[in-house]
Amino acid sequence: MTETTSDEVRRDVKQWLADNWDPDLGLLEWRTKLVESGWATPTWPAEWFGRGLPGWADPIVHDEFAAAGAVGTAVGGGMGLAAPTLLAHGSDEQKQRLLPRAITGEDTWCQLFSEPTNGSDLAGLATHAERDGDEWVVNGQKLWSTSAHHADLGLLLARTDPDVPKHRGISYFVLPMHQPGIEVRPVHQMNEHSSFNEVFLSDARVPAANLVGRPGDGWRIAMTTLAFERQFATVRAKSGVTPVGRAAEEAAAEAEEYFKTYAWYPQRAGRADLVQQVAELQGRTGDPIARQHMAGLVALRRAHEWTARRAQAARAAGRPPGSEGSLGKLAASRVAQASARTHSLLAGADGQLSHADSLLDGIVTEVLLSVPAQSIAGGTDEIQHNIIGERVLGLPREPPVTG
């Protein structure tokens, strides 16, 4: 078998776009064509809506779509979390039914893992599901469920066997969110946003066909989702391109709506890009202590970028997510914290004001209130340290907590 070269991929995708991209198509119609062609997800297997190309093909295809002004897959947890999990562990029927709708954005998804007393100790989760004919009946409570207020489907972990060790009694389900047994209550955050929710499950129903893997496989499958979550982009990429045509306008509106939930995520990441501006506004650019903090921040960011590029290169080479995910997540926390400290030093008491009274219309205050979340979401810094210690450095495992 001869191997496809990057020039051939570029030529083929260019040709396909020249023959098929039509800005006047509706978004769903265009994305349905994309699903059929395999160019939406070129590195997925050919039998599952891809073209079976190696990881290096993704950026090439992406560049050609951008050059043509063509729209790609839907944004959000469907493509970021659900699709890679289902590709790895779903049944053929689940892949056939759910993957195309993740690509087109017809279904939106949320992740229902954490509970009020089980975040880091996820394996101790108490929500349970019992089999009842062709369905599972779920009872319990989830917490911090981002976007659950507008999701069609949830990636749900529930205990199905209380009599085996905790990691082995968990199952993984695709939960239909629009049903009477589910109540979603938004949580009001200290930064005034409300992106996550409490989700109450009272005799909620899941069709048996929506169990992913076998009963008891849930923990292993959840590890796949979490590995992809560590590299899941929730900050909008700057395109600078004005959408032209119906499909592009509909995609821009979809992204606009989706990113409302994540409007505070750039602030959560520390807004190191604003530090120089704040120093100028406060007249502190000559202050040696402030300069030392600012220089330290630049160095940290640069090192973090290199780790991120290593992770990208690993993906492009077709390697599954590895330790770079935990290292990168930890580095992002360090950058956010260093940035918040620098903003705080520069802003002084102004950092305690909000909205128009504050620096940059309240952005700096929002940074200070949002950065703590960076060290918690997707697994806390301490948990990343444990993962790096045990899986990367091969140190002895943390002693289990009993009782």
Ligand X SMILES: Cc1cc2nc3c(=O)[nH]c(=O)nc-3n(C[C@H](O)[C@H](O)[C@H](O)COP(=O)(O)OP(=O)(O)OC[C@H]3O[C@@H](n4cnc5c(N)ncnc54)[C@H](O)[C@@H]3O)c2cc1C
Q: What are phi and psi of 348, to 5 degrees?
A: 60, -140
Judged by CB under 6 A, which of 113, 172, 219, 262 binds ligand X? Answer: 113
Task: Write each residue from 70 to 89 as x if it is in contact with ligand X (CB under 6 A), else as -, in one continuous string.
Answer: --------------------
Of the pair 111, 365, the CB lying nearest ligand X is at 111
Q: Identify which range of 12-20, 91-99, 311-319, 380-388 contacts ligand X by CB under 6 A.
A: 380-388
Q: Is residue 120 within the footprint of ligand X (CB under 6 A)? A: yes
Q: Is residue 145 within the footprint of ligand X (CB under 6 A)? A: yes
Number of residues that bind ligand X (CB under 6 A): 21
Minimum separation from the CB atom of position 145 to ligand X (A):
5
Q: Sign of the CA dihedral 303, 305, 306, 312?
A: positive
Question: What token pair was written down for 325?
Answer: 């995910």
Residue 179: CA count within 13 A, CB half-sphere: 16
Listed in sequence order, the residues at least 6 apart from 337 whose beta carbon sits closer than 8 Å to its beta carbon are 270, 371, 374, 375
Q: Is residue 114 within the footprint of ligand X (CB under 6 A)? A: yes
Instruction: Please give the residues from 353 up to 372 whose contact with ligand X meets the rule CB under 6 A.
Output: none
Q: Is residue 264 within the footprint of ligand X (CB under 6 A)? A: no
Task: Write each residue from 179 to 208 as x if it is in contact with ligand X (CB under 6 A), else as -, in one continuous string.
Answer: -----------------x------------
| Three-point CA angle 154, 160, 162, nearest 5° | 135
Listed in sequence order, the residues at least 6 apart from 73 whose beta carbon sits closer than 8 Å to its beta carbon are 31, 34, 40, 41, 79, 102, 103, 104, 105
Judged by CB under 6 A, which of 14, 376, 388, 389 binds ligand X? Answer: 376
Residue 249: CA count within 13 A, CB half-sphere: 8
CA pair distance 202, 139, nearest whole angstrom: 5
CA pair distance 117, 120, nearest whole angstrom: 9
Q: Identify which range of 31-39, 65-73, 124-132, 144-152 contacts ligand X by CB under 6 A.
A: 144-152
Of the pair 215, 378, the CB lying nearest ligand X is at 378
Q: Which residues bind ligand X (CB under 6 A)?
A: 110-114, 119-120, 144-146, 196, 373, 376-380, 382-383, 386, 398
